[in-house]
Structures are given as structure tokens and as C-alpha cells.
Amino acid sequence: MILGPRLRSAKHPAGPAASNRVVRSQDRADHLRRARAAAQVIRTALPGVGHVRIALSFEDQSSISPTAQVHVLYPPARAFFTYPCPHSDCDGEFELDRAVRMAVNDSTRTAHGSVPCSGARVGEPGSKRPCELRLIYDITAAPDNGA
């Protein structure tokens, strides 16, 4: 099926910039899916861990902060700790693998910290601006009690 050129209006802009954004978003989602599928399961990657609880909250000085998230991962889950920026127009992600491993190896079995988003958000047509989102994480790695 061949589609003709779309009509543009101030209210409904369409064209290469909008479609490129969709393609990049799909590519990013596909990349994350493939990486998650390739990751080891927690029982293999983090022996002795019963579950990992990852609480994420966000601070954004330039816009409304996204809603907090909590992820609880059990031994059969993939040991994949990369989370995309929750801003739909951002290409960044947060890599928490090191923080999870710190929690597993710490005597308190916890890790707390914050990281800035590494991505950029769409600004004016054809431009990008740095994402100003900051992720605050609280990770607990509960021991496997032989259940």
C-alpha cells in the first residue's frame, strides 16, 4: 500500500520528524527486549538472592515528575536492570546493574542513590534538549531463605 503525502497543519504536524521519532522509539524498545531476553535469570546471575526490590522515584525541574515505580524480581526473572526514561519523548535509560550488585554484596543488602537521565528530549521541531529527569533508587536484595 502506498500512501500519499500527509497534509500538515499547526494542530496536527506530521512528516519525517514525527515518523523518525516513532521508529527510534520502536528501535529502543526492541533493543531493550532483546537485551532482557539475553540476560541470565536472577538465580544464576545473583545466587542466594530470594528477590530484588527496586523502588524508583523521579525528580524533574523542567516538567511534572513521572509517577514512582516499584519492581520486585524473583529468581526466575531476568537479571536485567535497565529502565527506559519514563518521558515518552526521551531516548535515555537508567542502568542499575551496578547498584543492584552493590546491594547484593553490601552487608545491609541495600543500595540507595540517584542518577541523571542520559538522554535527550525533543524540543522545538528538529532539535533536542537534555532530559533533566533524575532517578532516585532504593534497592533491596533479600536473601534466599531456601523456600
Collapsed DSSP state (helix, strand, coil) of residue 84: strand
Mean pLDDT of 52-77: 94
Q: What is the pLDDT of residues 122-133, one digit of tens each?
A: 876 777 889 999
Q: What is the pLDDT of residue 116?
A: 96
End-to-end Cα, the chain, rounded Å:
56
Model confidence band, residue 70 (pLDDT cutoffs 50, 70, 90): very high
Q: What confidence category does residue 23 fall into, taking pLDDT thresholds of 50, 70 and 90?
A: low
Residue 122: name the closest of 10, 18, 26, 8 by CA: 18
- State yes or no: pLDDT of 8 exceeds 60: no
pLDDT at position 16: 47
Q: Is the pLDDT of residue 32 over 90?
A: no
Does 11 have pLDDT greater than 50? no
Q: Percent of the chain having pLDDT more than 70?
A: 81
Extract the C-alpha cell encoding 107. Answer: 552487608
- Average pLDDT value for the chain: 84
20-24 long-range contacts, CB within 8 A, separation 24+? 21/89, 21/122, 24/91
What is d(CA 140, CA 106) in angstroms, rounded to the nearest whole number? Answer: 10
Entry pTM? 0.77
SS3 15: coil
Check pLDDT > 50 for residue 12: no
